[in-house]
Amino acid sequence: MCVPPQSEYDHFQVLLLGRDGTEVLASTSENGFSLPSIEIPKNTRVAEECNAAVAKQLGITAYSLCTRRIPTGADKPSFVRCIVMETSRAETNAPARMSWIPLGSPLSASFESRDDIRLLTEWIAAPAKEISSTELFSRPRTLRTIFAWVETQTTSAGLHLTGDFRQLNCGPQYSLIRFRTKDSGVWFKAVGEPNLHEFPITLAITNLLPSFLPPLLGTRPDWNAWLTVEAEGTHPDENSTLAKWKTAATALSQLQIESFANALHLIGAECRDLRACRLQQEIATFLEVIAELMSQQTTPAPAPLSHEQLRTLGAQIEEALGILENTDIPNGLGHSDLSPGNLLVRQDSCIFLDWSEGFIGHPFLTIPYLIEYLRRDPAGHLWEPQILAAYAATWRNHFDEAKLSAAFSVAPLLAAFTYAISIVTSRKLAPPFDDRTAKLLRSLTRRMKREADAFTNGEHLCVS
């Protein structure tokens, strides 16, 4: 049987609202009306790409409100993906062969597609008065409401908006928008479930360690939102110099050392508690979950780990945690998603972004995440020893070489364990896991076993 190749694009029906949500844009034909459709590249930011596609295809500047999945019928398991949008201007002329249709018109007699009718009917059936304040960002006039608040904050700071914006994320409870100012820009971010904790974490770190985060202009607790000045710097990538990566590593060590005095305060601000004493409590649960996932594996290769191998791994993890505690290096701020996209590197400093995965634990549990990204690039792999040395240099001013060496020896194993635990006990996920998550956890466990054996055999991160 010939399997057709999968598309590199996602298809969306577009429910584009105008006049404060009272009308919808529709294509016109002899047979009636139909909602426009667009395609965007897979694995990209939906809001940003949909806004760009509507601007290019329809010539309309629009703002994304939320996405919807509409079942195609009781006899089919498929669905139609839809993006709900609104025009960013009060008055917009309809493009050629299109019309603005009042939402109160008889839909069944006007639209050709049952999917279009189902989508429109569902949207109309959700009256605005029933939408809570936490769902503000999926309703009409969202951009106008946000813009008014942002303008108040920027004006107070002596900044002036130009009216241009770039939207990256959309949803009922969350938003991410860059508003352009005459000088540079400001960023508005709002978070909802399951990332509500990012709001108090961000505010706490900004207040305690302000030199490592973008300057804060204002907050809206009722929206779980904040506004920051756009920080200077660039994200490191495959074209970045070794010096840029070393600057990021050095800044990370400085951030962590400065966080020591505020560890308990940051836990209270909802940073994840990944101290060694807590991780030890998770070993048994982790092994139980992984043993079940290994038994569910249906492919012969790579071979699932046996119960005996998992018991040995549990003992190795416990030993590694004991070594980490005996180094007497204090618990500090860590970042479980330390990717280049969350770093803005300047000439001699670095800004750290997106603290949803912020935690308090041993500092050395963070640097392996950065190293992992480097290993994806051949040049970065060659730079690994130098970047680790730059990270370790700051620590040598505070701790002796033996303690640092011991901590680095177990860091790769425990970083992998910490990441696996964050999935098993996630705020976002819960057993039973889907196939993709189960496969990831099995792969992580095999990685942990390799790291544990390397640690046992005296192979570990070199920081000389």
Of 23-32, 33-42, 128-137, 146-155, where does mean pLDDT reach its minimum? 128-137
Whichever domain contains 367, its CATH number is 3.90.1200.10
Higher-scoring residue by pLDDT: 455, 316: 316
Please say which residue of 125, 149, 180 terminates a domain.
125
pLDDT band at 128; cut points 50, 70, 90: very low
Tell me which residue of 227, 225, 223 sits closest to 134, measured CA to CA.
223
pLDDT confidence of residue 1: 41
Average pLDDT over residues 89-101: 85
Q: pLDDT tens-digit profile of 387-412? A: 999 999 999 999 999 999 999 999 99
Q: Is residue 236 part of a domain?
A: no
Give the H or E element holding residue 360.
Answer: strand 358-361
Which two tokens mark 136? 């503000």
pLDDT confidence of residue 448: 95
Of 135-139, 244-248, 395-399, 458-462, where does mean pLDDT reach its minimum? 458-462
Q: Is the pLDDT of residue 129 over 70?
A: no
CB neighbour burial string for 142-181, b if at least 16 within 10 angstroms, e if fewer: bbeebbeebeebbeeeebebeeebebbbbbbbbbbbbbeb
What CA–CA distance (Å, rounded) separates 441 from 435? 10
Of 226-230, 411-415, 455-459, where does mean pLDDT reach its minimum? 455-459
Give the predicted TM-score (pTM) of the model: 0.90
Q: Is the pLDDT of residue 126 over 80?
A: no
What CA–CA distance (Å, rounded) separates 15 from 27? 11
Which two tokens mark 455? 């640690």
What CA–CA distance (Å, rounded) separates 258 from 256? 5
Alpha-carbon torsion (165, 198, 64, 133), positive or negative: negative
Q: pLDDT tens-digit profile of 267-294? A: 999 999 999 999 999 999 999 999 999 9
Q: Does one domain contain both 337 and 213? A: no
What CA–CA distance (Å, rounded) separates 328 from 314? 22
Q: pLDDT tens-digit profile of 203-221? A: 999 999 999 999 999 999 9
Q: Does one domain contain both 305 and 363? A: yes
Which two tokens mark 318? 């416990």
Average pLDDT over residues 64-83: 79
What CA–CA distance (Å, rounded) separates 412 from 395? 18
Q: Are 374 and 408 in contact (CB under 8 A)?
A: no
What CA–CA distance (Å, rounded) separates 215 from 446? 41
Please say which residue of 107, 125, 143 terminates a domain.
125
pLDDT confidence of residue 136: 80
pLDDT confidence of residue 31: 83
Which residues, in sequence order, are bridge partners of residue 25? 100
Q: Does one domain contain both 162 and 94? A: no
Total structural domains within the chain: 3
Give the H or E element holding residue 118.
Answer: helix 114-124
Expressed as residue numbers, the domain containing 71 is 9-125
Tell me which residue of 384, 372, 382 sits closest to 412, measured CA to CA.
372
Q: Is the pLDDT of residue 253 over 90?
A: yes
Alpha-carbon torsion (373, 362, 427, 203), positive or negative: negative
Please say which residue of 199, 229, 259 terminates a domain.
229
Which two tokens mark 338? 């330390």
